[in-house]
Amino acid sequence: MGTVTKQAPVAVVAIGGNSLITDNKNPGVPHQWDAVRETASYVAEMVAEGWSVVITHGNGPQVGFILRRNELASPEVHPTPLDLIVADTQGSIGFMLQQALSNEFHRRAIERQCITLVTQVLVDADDPAFASPNKPIGGFMDEASARNFEKDGWQVVEDAGRGWRRVVASPEPYAIVEEKAIEQAVQLGWIVVAVGGGGIPVVRNSKGELRSVYAVIDKDRASSLLASRIDADLFLISTGVEQVALHFGKPNQTLLHRMTEAEAERYMAEGHFAPGSMKPKIEACIRYLRQSTKPHAAAIITNPANLGRALRGETGTRIVRNGE
């Protein structure tokens, strides 16, 4: 595997945790493998066309499964803390992507390999998010069960009439501890899986030592930060829809093929993008564009099956700087 030339364009591809579970009625590992292999085939197509790729991924459903295992196993074994749960999912999902991509590269006779880097992301210990936890994790439950979790130090909230859930803080990421290692690995030709689940949130104590904090980081925010910090040419968010839409799900729904930062901000102000789904993705794309030094940086939102077509400009939603 030779070193990638400096001319090779770099893309950060953010894959949603829910895209690894395409059928909520069949969330088991064999079905997750099917989804990962399908996604890997689309990423391999990008690599075949000359892209260097860094893959990030969500882990929401997988974290929920591990939390539930904690509950069921509590009479027998110690619980797994949240930082180790995120690390566990970085390893397991990264392994699945590594193997699936290695097989795709073998099938296509592409001389590339994939590695996973367990990634820590720095947050501010004084971030206001710690005073107002609002990121739901784990499954839904009734109020009585939720109140029992309060006894163990959890905060719980009622979630949009669907039941009660635990919540943790979601602070802003401001630095990626393993940033240089990721950047150097890309330069050496590796396909890298990093910042899984938004990264393991850490702070530095008074001695300058890294210490985990009880929180989760938004995957799209962390991916956007990574894309700008390693100076990626493209930030691509792979999600559940082919294109971003105005008036989503309504009779007057309008698909967006292209928009500028200013247009994206205006649409957000008008309430077109839901806070729990599309809005954080649009915000992450805008952040990347503002922080990137690349003159023609772009962001794309589409679904896994259309990565190739979106790169060719045939579908997806491309977000560009004002004036482009």
Give dist(CA 14, CA 76) in Å, integer: 37
Between CA 80 and CA 218 the distance in angstroms is 21
Asked about 205 being catalytic, the answer comes back as no
Residue ranges in 120-253 assigned as alpha helix (H): 143-150, 179-187, 219-229
Query: Which of 17, 58, 196, 199 is labelled catalytic?
Result: 17
Query: Buried b vs exposed e over 84-99: b needs ≥16 C-beta within 10 Å?
Result: ebbbbbbebbbebbbe
Known active-site residue 303: no
List Cβ neighbours of 168 (8 Å cut-off, separation of 6 or more): 82, 133, 135, 137, 155, 214, 215, 216
Nearest Cα to 260, choosing from 221, 194, 201, 318?
318
Q: Which of the following is catalytic: 219, 303, 306, 316? A: 219
Known catalytic membership, residue 18 = yes
Residues 6+ apart with CB under 8 A from 18: 58, 60, 61, 240
Say whether 208 is catalytic: no
Active-site annotation holds for 281: yes
CA distance 320 to 314: 16
Q: Which of 133, 170, 176 is nearest to 153 (CA)?
A: 133
Q: Which of 16, 59, 135, 198 is catalytic?
A: 135
> Could you give the C-alpha distances from 163 to 136, 140, 170, in angstroms and in order?
11, 5, 21
Provide CB contacts within 8 A for 126, sequence distance 6+. Answer: none
Residue 313 to residue 22: CA distance in whole angstroms: 25
Give which of 55, 50, 57 is closest to 12, Cα–Cα.
55
Please report, as a single letter, which amino acid is at residue 71: E
Residue of 94, 196, 281, 308 marked catalytic: 281
Q: Note the residue count of the chain.
A: 324
User: Which residues carry out catalysis?
Assistant: 17-18, 135, 219, 281
